[in-house]
Structure 1
Amino acid sequence: MPVLWLVIILGIVEGLTEYLPVSSTGHLILATELLGFRAEDWEAFNVAIQPGAIFAIVVLYWRTFWDVFTGLFRKDAGAWRFVRNLVVACVPAVVLALLFGDHIEKLLGNAVVVCWALIIGGAVILILEKVVRPKECNGVQNLSLRQSALIGAVQCLAMVPGVSRSGATILGAMALGVDRKTAAEFSFFLAMPTLSGATAYYLFKHHDRIAPDMVGNILIGSLVSFVVAIVVVKLFVGFVTRYGFAPFAWYRIVAGGAALAWLTLR
């Protein structure tokens, strides 16, 4: 397969899965392996194209961010709570990344870990969908400090590839009584500082892995992920509000099981 096709496919996978509770990192690892390439060789590329998906949230929610920005100058309490909640939720991931970053990176090319994380995560989603009864929160700014801190702690589970950052934050929020729409949007907003920081840290630490001839491919992959992520995010909130997360749980279980079987038999 030509490298350009792999670049486009990985861009599509990143845009499709970054904000769904199915693990973008896990899917990128499995997609690379399934297409006949070594996941370790494409690890830096997969991290470098994340800004495309991040920018999709900026475009889609620009009015929300503008209202928060101007609200800070107006000393609006809701705007300050919005920022406070995002900052507090980011702290656990920053601390763990600094303490255990090297150990976490060793898992990024492990497709078997991804498979088991997909299966177990799918089962957890099904259980939570049955037992949790979330209440309407009507916006990220209405989350409590405790809820934000706990959601940020749960997000750290996504450092294991295959767990899903969006899935961990959304389901962590729901377990704390947050409604699906607010949980999904908090996951989107939290992705911006979390993924931006993680991407910047990784590329600073491993800048030697980005060869000059990779820059063009990274730009193409980022553009593809940006376009696909815009479409996915637009549809996602309405879908989960109506149908819940069970469809994603069954997908995780089937995909993880099929990939595990393929890896075992190949």
Structure 2
Amino acid sequence: MKEFGSAPEGIELRKWTDWMAMDASADFTYSREMHQLRDIGSEKIPILSLLKYLFVRPSVLASFSEVLKTNEEALESRIKRRGNVEHLDHFEALLPANAPAPTQKEKTHIGIITGHLVIAGYEPIASQIYSTIIFSLLEPTCLDYLVKEIRMAFRKYDDIQIKDLGSLQYIHASLMETLRITVLQSSGQPRVSPGATVDGHHVPKGVTVSYAFLAFTRDSRYFHDAHSYRPQHWLPEGHPLWDPAQGPRPCPGLPLAWQETRLFLAKVLWQFDAEMLPN
């Protein structure tokens, strides 16, 4: 970022957050080194599973046999390295070192699961980081608060560690507000009706129901100033910027995702001044 970001045209943040998140997700899932950040470019075949068709370029799909071959080689490589990787990954839980050699059917099944894990650790993380920075840039006061909190918390860049980021309240509030205002999915998690009446309408037992994410998170009954980016929604009462009109609301989040997004934001915004460029 130092080398390329200092040029007049700057860098395309969407690409860099994609590269970082995909590199991390592939490493977390099955210890695969994709080196997108190192090589400053996207790997042609990013995931294992049939869902790859949603994420790769049409030119890649033209050579379907090459896609299958590369994915199969990546899976076989991780199977051979069981018990001999630098760190634990999700694959270790799917096929531990002491497990019997998988059948071809089991390999296919594991390949699909790892593909899902790669996607889950890639796109939502990349979008969360990118969107938090973009919304903060669009609300300069929010960016000022965020940068000030990060730079006051750490004397030098190398001091920024995951264990120290959980106590930073404004970075947490910014990430939570981005989860609310950025629609990464069309609906909430589905539930099966036990047989109930909702708003005067009977929902029979067994019917799958969910809520509309966009409508819910922008409903003024639940969020003050619901159409604006307001990290104050998530600040605790003792924070200097706490606003009683905003109020906290619950939102799910996984520990690994919190650590990854906090660390990226803290390191990038400690190191750099961010600004929008024309076009």
User: After TM superposition, is the score higher than 0.5?
Assistant: no
Larger helix fraction of residues: 1
Instruction: Name the structure, 1 or 2, with higher relative contact order (CA <8 Å, separation 6+).
Output: 1
Q: TM-score range by the shorter chain?
A: under 0.3
Higher-Rg member (1/2): 2
TM-score normalised to structure 2 length:
0.26
